[in-house]
Amino acid sequence: MLSDATLTKAQAGMESVSTRLSLSWVTPEMVIHVLASTAVAAFAYVSHSFYGYPLSSGAFLNAHTLLGIVLGVLLTMRVVLGLQRVQAAAAAVQNFAKTCRQIAVLSTFVGETLTVSAGAEVEKKATTKFRYDLVRLLNLSYYSFQLMLNGMKLCVAPTSLKPREGGKLEQETLSAVDNPTVMVCKMIAKLLEQQAAAKRIPNEQCGVIMGKIADLIDAYHSALTLLLAPVPYTLSSFAYFFTCFFCYTVGPIIAINELGDNMQFAGMGLGLTIFYTFILSNFFFGLFEAGKTLEAPLKSLAASLATDDMGYVLSDDLSNLIDDPDVPVLLTRP
């Protein structure tokens, strides 16, 4: 058995992206907070050892322990909720690509209706043009869909996805509308309607393909809903405030408990205070940064996908499934 080189390359691209994003939770803002909270803890240890603030070794310890537990649960649930939104966006992307492949397979039912030599040649050219335009529009729909995932809009289509004739009008139409992906789906529906009018496809089969075009639009709107859904800023600001409050106050409490009752400065005590504060601050601020996928699930998904590889694999599949050797792979291999 031989391995699938295309899928292997796509998987390698996904792994490369995942590796690159594995430390995406380490942001400049997070590093500044961690260093600042650690510095506050060190200052509290040194100053308390010299001035002896009137605080007991167990001051606020129980309250902070309870706050840390509740805050950890809250931040974890925020991460889980964000991952669920990313998975919903990923499902929309997969459904869109799956429906494109289904339309390509179903389009093989479109065939010539005439067998007389003169008419058969015209029918063959019309069918070939239909298959090429269908693959081109399916590729264009997925290309514009990917742009939407990144918060961009199709203005000028790649040269390989432009029509062979009459491309200026199509380009002006797509650049003028707010949802070019839906407009491309409409173009696919019109293309199919022309074939039905020419009796090149049974009405029943035409209805099935029209249903698949509706599925394309449904997958697009599922992703668009995640893009336009209101961001839970209240939850994010609440979590951010209490993460800062906990991390900037837990260090002094650790320092007070490390000093204990003898109030004598010790290098080991200072080192443990800095170490514990650094670990706790990294954990809570890192967990907060990881939960930011909740605010922008499509952006997080687009950053973690090997979009060029996925687009090429889809384009290659569409070219093969259309059952016409004259239809090339329109998206190049990255």
Which pTM does this prediction carry?
Answer: 0.76
pLDDT on residue 102: 87
pLDDT on residue 115: 47
Answer yes or no: do 264 and 294 share one domain.
yes
**327, part of any domain:** no
- Alpha-helical (H) ranges within 52-116 are 61-106
**310, part of any domain:** no
Let me know: does 132 contact 327? Beta carbons within 8 Å: yes
**329, part of any domain:** no
Residue span of the structural domain in which 18 resides = 5-89+231-303
Answer yes or no: do 99 and 221 share one domain.
yes
At CA 326, angle to CA 311 and CA 191, rounded to 5? 70
**319, part of any domain:** no
Answer yes or no: do 102 and 77 share one domain.
no
**298, part of any domain:** yes
Let me know: does 333 contact 119? Beta carbons within 8 Å: no
Answer yes or no: do 46 and 159 share one domain.
no
Answer yes or no: do 99 and 206 share one domain.
yes
pLDDT on residue 44: 85
SS3 call for 305: coil
Our count of domains for the chain comes to 2
pLDDT on residue 263: 60
Answer yes or no: do 79 and 120 share one domain.
no
Answer yes or no: do 71 and 180 share one domain.
no
**12, part of any domain:** yes
Answer yes or no: do 214 and 128 share one domain.
yes
C-alpha–C-alpha distance, residues 58 and 305, integer Å: 49
* pLDDT by 10s per residue, the chain, length 334: 444 555 566 566 556 655 666 667 788 888 999 999 999 988 888 887 776 665 555 557 788 888 889 999 999 988 888 888 888 888 888 888 889 888 888 887 776 554 444 456 777 777 778 888 888 888 888 888 888 887 788 877 777 787 877 667 777 787 888 888 888 888 888 888 888 888 878 888 888 888 988 999 998 888 888 777 766 778 888 889 999 999 998 888 888 887 765 566 667 878 888 899 999 999 999 999 888 877 777 777 766 666 666 777 787 777 777 766 777 777 666 5
**208, part of any domain:** yes
Last residue of a domain, one of 183, 206, 229: 229
pLDDT on residue 282: 92
Answer yes or no: do 188 and 128 share one domain.
yes
**23, part of any domain:** yes
User: Concatenated DSSP letters for 201-239?
Assistant: S-HHHHHHHHHHHHHHHHHHHHHHHHHHSPP-HHHHHHH
Answer yes or no: do 61 and 97 share one domain.
no
C-alpha–C-alpha distance, residues 195 and 102, integer Å: 18
pLDDT on residue 334: 57
Answer yes or no: do 40 and 113 share one domain.
no
Answer yes or no: do 216 and 240 share one domain.
no
Task: Give the list of residues 6+ apart from residue 254 with CB closer than 8 angstroms, or none.
Answer: 41, 272, 273, 276, 277
